[in-house]
Amino acid sequence: DQQVKQNSPSLSVQEGRISILNCDYTNSMFDYFLWYKKYPAEGPTFLISISSIKDKNEDGRFTVFLNKSAKHLSLHIVPSQPGDSAVYFCAASSSGGSNYKLTFGKGTLLTVNP
Amino acid sequence: EAQVTQNPRYLITVTGKKLTVTCSQNMNHEYMSWYRQDPGLGLRQIYYSMNVEVTDKGDVPEGYKVSRKEKRNFPLILESPSPNQTSLYFCASSSAAYNEQFFGPGTRLTVL
């Protein structure tokens, strides 16, 4: 049973436009959400996070939105740049769980075309 | 420079030959974890450690062992590797269990 779902395996966007990556979760115990970016031949790197007490968190060109009632979060990248081309993983965790782990989605490959 | 290092980066081995993948972090993090990444499956946790001498199973622990004798090191041991353990492995660490995790560069393992 996949608890974190990224239903779009890939997304292609023009440089300068907005990229929107989506993530859905099923476990209502999740209260902390993160986005990671991964380039080929490298480990994932942390991008941005959001706690369940917020519905928005912004860091430069990156904004994460959380809709708890819909169990949905999204990452907005504005404006998109060719260097943003990477695989983006959504991850979730529960601070009250006995196994403090991150549960990852399968990832979305973002391609930003010049 | 704060980092998580893994060795080796690439390894080709044969079924049944014991191997160890080392992981070390220099950030004094208490929490460390191992993941494997497979096509279409994303990142799945193998084992994690909350602190020295404290380890527990993740989602896919079968066929793996770990140890945490020192805070900075968290080796992954495959006692008898099998072809289904061919994968890309990542070690990660963080200051608290559910904080952002810092990942190593990955170890690509092929078991023939």
What pLDDT sits at residue B1?
84
Question: How distant, in Å, are the alpha carbons of A9, A40, A51, A103, B56 from that of B94?
Answer: 28, 22, 17, 15, 16
- Predicted confidence at residue A97, as pLDDT, reads 59
Q: What Å distances lie between residue B92 and B15, B72, B97, CA to CA?
A: 26, 11, 11
CA-wise closest residue to A27 among A47, A8, A4: A4
Q: Select from A72, A90, A81, A71 the least CA-distant residue to A112.
A: A81
How many H-runs (helices) and E-runs (strands) does chain A carry? 0, 11
Beta bridge partners of A11: A110
Task: For B44-93, write each residue's pLDDT tens digit.
Answer: 999 999 889 999 998 899 999 999 999 999 999 999 999 999 999 999 99
What one-character DSSP code corresponds to residue A89?
Answer: E
* Residue B101, SS3 per DSSP: coil
A40's CB contacts (< 8 A; 6+ apart) are none
Chain B CB within 8 Å of residue A107 CB? yes
Sites in chain A below the pLDDT cut of 50: none
**Mutation target among A4, A102, A103, A106 for the B interface, most CBs of B within 10 A:** A102
Determine, for residues A99 and B56 on separate chains, whether the beta-carbon distance falls below 8 Å: yes
